[in-house]
């Protein structure tokens, strides 16, 4: 089989590549990375100030990172779980974070509509399912927390109604959230690039940034240099090439396996008529959905950290086998189904699982830590970053992830030991069936 980064990138349609940087240039804003963060920021900068010269430098091709590989859930989850966010930041900030995320889901929808981006966008919500008694108990507690904090848009659904939406013998009940849409991630990122280009943004592909000189604001690349007034690191999990970002976040891998298209009979057996996304309620949760051509895309179940933070562990055979086994357990109706694709990629995680928008020095910004929930978040962060870079104030620029203090992550071997400790604790809870 041909090498691919994701099913989505393989099936994104015709795409005309951008050339690479070949000389030395000057620009007003230089953005490193052509994923959702970089492209959305560029679009919003141009919307606000069309005369601004904006340049994006991308090491690979547009969307080669998480933006072209993700599950396509435009969703509301912030941090790792609501109770952990509340434990660390309190009730008020948990509510603020939820409001930012709800706005993010709504905002991405308006952005897609505004520019008529064809990305198979469907907003039928998502279910968080409980598949054992302990998970059920925990989910009920989280519903109480939701009521206590006063969050809107969630609904409890009993076993019968849950299985009417998606039929698995393992489901006991679910929480339904109307603030979730499914989309084709690669079509979205390539669509955003086209919008940015139309607005006058210069995009260079196959242009790896090697260094950023903070004093002179010169970005050094494999093909030339760019002198810029303002700079943004939109490099997400790939940020460790820059020493000042290496200690702020780490690349954690999540993997996805994909089936052949389901037959009408198989679809009927699953009752899966509405395009509802599904997650279970483990720490290392599973996330799954149907693709536009009715394949089952099934991901998660474990998150990996590899010693030394390598950035090329895009497949994991053991995880592929585990995901296939889990599909058989959750959907016995799909007995004999063939799997056609397996891929993964790094997400960016901080030690407390919460995202950060910050400054390295004057006029040099970064955005990291969006975990596995960055589809809506990074696109909305693009608006926030544009406001910050243009020194505008809004409810977004006052959000507590902006310029927050974060824990430094030590170098190896300590980072491996710390991350392994956190992973082991989360896995232990899942294995004991607490959140299985």
Ligand X SMILES: Cc1cc2nc3c(=O)[nH]c(=O)nc-3n(C[C@H](O)[C@H](O)[C@H](O)COP(=O)(O)OP(=O)(O)OC[C@H]3O[C@@H](n4cnc5c(N)ncnc54)[C@H](O)[C@@H]3O)c2cc1C
Binding site for ligand X (CB under 6 A): 32-38, 57-60, 64-67, 69-73, 75, 208-209, 234-238, 241, 254, 256, 287, 299, 344-345, 347, 370, 372-375, 378
* Cα–Cα dist 43/115, whole Å: 11
State the virtual CA torsion across 152, 154, 155, 159 in degrees, nearest 10.
-170
**Cβ-based nearer residue to ligand X, 89 or 190:** 190
**Cβ-based nearer residue to ligand X, 70 or 135:** 70
**Cβ-based nearer residue to ligand X, 316 or 378:** 378
- Biggest CA-to-CA distance, the chain: 63
Cα-based distances in Å from 268 to 3, 164, 165, 166, 298: 33, 11, 11, 10, 18
Buried b (16+ CB within 10 A) or exposed e, 69-105: bbbbbbbbbbbbbbeebbeebeeebbebbbbbbbbbb
Cβ atoms within 10 A of the Cβ of 107, count? 19
* Cα–Cα dist 322/149, whole Å: 37
CB of 114 to ligand X, least distance (A): 19
CB of 347 to ligand X, least distance (A): 5
**Cβ-based nearer residue to ligand X, 5 or 163:** 5
Cβ atoms within 10 A of the Cβ of 37, count? 32
Shortest Cβ contact with ligand X: which residue? 374
Task: Output phi, psi for 283, to 5 deg.
Answer: -65, -50
CB of 336 to ligand X, least distance (A): 26
CB of 160 to ligand X, least distance (A): 27
**Cβ-based nearer residue to ligand X, 79 or 163:** 79
**Cβ-based nearer residue to ligand X, 223 or 261:** 223
CB of 65 to ligand X, least distance (A): 3
DSSP H stretches of helix in 212-310: 243-246, 264-270
CB of 299 to ligand X, least distance (A): 6
* Cα–Cα dist 103/385, whole Å: 15
CB of 318 to ligand X, least distance (A): 16
**Cβ-based nearer residue to ligand X, 68 or 139:** 68
CB of 78 to ligand X, least distance (A): 11
CA angle 80, 85, 86 (to 5 degrees): 145
- The DSSP call for residue 67 is G
Query: Angle of helix 82-114 relative to helix 133-149, nearest 10 degrees?
Result: 70
**Cβ-based nearer residue to ligand X, 137 or 214:** 214
């Amino acid at each position: 089989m041909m090498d691919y980064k994701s099913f989505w990138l393989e099936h994104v349609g015709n795409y005309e590549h951008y050339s690479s940087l070949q000389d030395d240039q000057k620009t007003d804003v230089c953005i490193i990375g052509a994923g959702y963060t970089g492209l959305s920021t560029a679009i919003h900068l141009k919307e606000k100030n069309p005369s601004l010269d904006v340049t994006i430098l991308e090491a690979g091709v547009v969307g080669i990172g998480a933006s072209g590989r993700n599950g396509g859930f435009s969703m509301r989850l912030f941090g790792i779980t609501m109770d952990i966010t509340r434990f660390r930041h309190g009730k008020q900030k948990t509510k603020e974070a939820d409001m930012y995320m709800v706005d993010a889901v709504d905002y991405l929808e308006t952005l897609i509509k505004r520019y008529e981006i064809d990305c198979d966008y469907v907003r039928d919500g998502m279910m968080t399912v409980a598949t054992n008694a302990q998970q059920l108990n925990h989910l009920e507690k989280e519903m109480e927390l939701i009521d206590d904090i006063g969050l809107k848009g969630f609904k409890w659904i009993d076993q019968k109604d849950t299985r009417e939406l998606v039929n698995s013998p393992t489901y006991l009940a679910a929480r339904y959230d109307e603030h979730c849409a499914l989309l084709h991630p690669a079509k979205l990122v390539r669509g955003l690039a086209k919008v940015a280009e139309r607005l006058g943004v210069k995009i260079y592909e196959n242009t790896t940034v090697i260094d950023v000189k903070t004093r002179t604001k010169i970005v050094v690349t494999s093909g030339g240099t760019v002198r810029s007034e303002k700079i943004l690191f939109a490099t997400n999990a790939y940020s460790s090439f820059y020493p000042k970002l290496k200690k702020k976040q780490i690349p954690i891998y999540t993997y996805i396996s994909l089936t052949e298209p389901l037959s009408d009979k198989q679809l009927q057996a699953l009752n899966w008529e509405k395009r509802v996304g599904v997650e279970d309620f483990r720490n290392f949760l599973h996330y799954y959905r149907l693709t536009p051509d009715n394949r089952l895309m099934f991901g998660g179940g474990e998150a990996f950290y590899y010693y030394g933070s390598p950035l090329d562990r895009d497949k994991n055979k053991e995880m592929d086998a585990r995901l296939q086994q889990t599909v058989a357990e959750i959907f016995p109706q799909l007995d004999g189904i063939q799997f056609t694709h397996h891929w993964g990629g790094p997400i960016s995680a901080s030690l407390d699982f919460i995202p950060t928008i910050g400054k390295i020095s004057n006029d040099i910004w970064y955005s990291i830590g969006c975990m596995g929930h960055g589809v809506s978040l990074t696109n909305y962060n693009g608006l926030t970053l544009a406001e910050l870079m243009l020194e505008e104030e809004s409810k977004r620029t006052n959000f507590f992830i902006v310029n927050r203090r974060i824990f430094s992550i030590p170098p190896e071997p300590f980072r491996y030991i710390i991350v392994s400790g956190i992973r082991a604790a989360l896995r232990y809870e899942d294995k004991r069936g607490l959140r299985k």
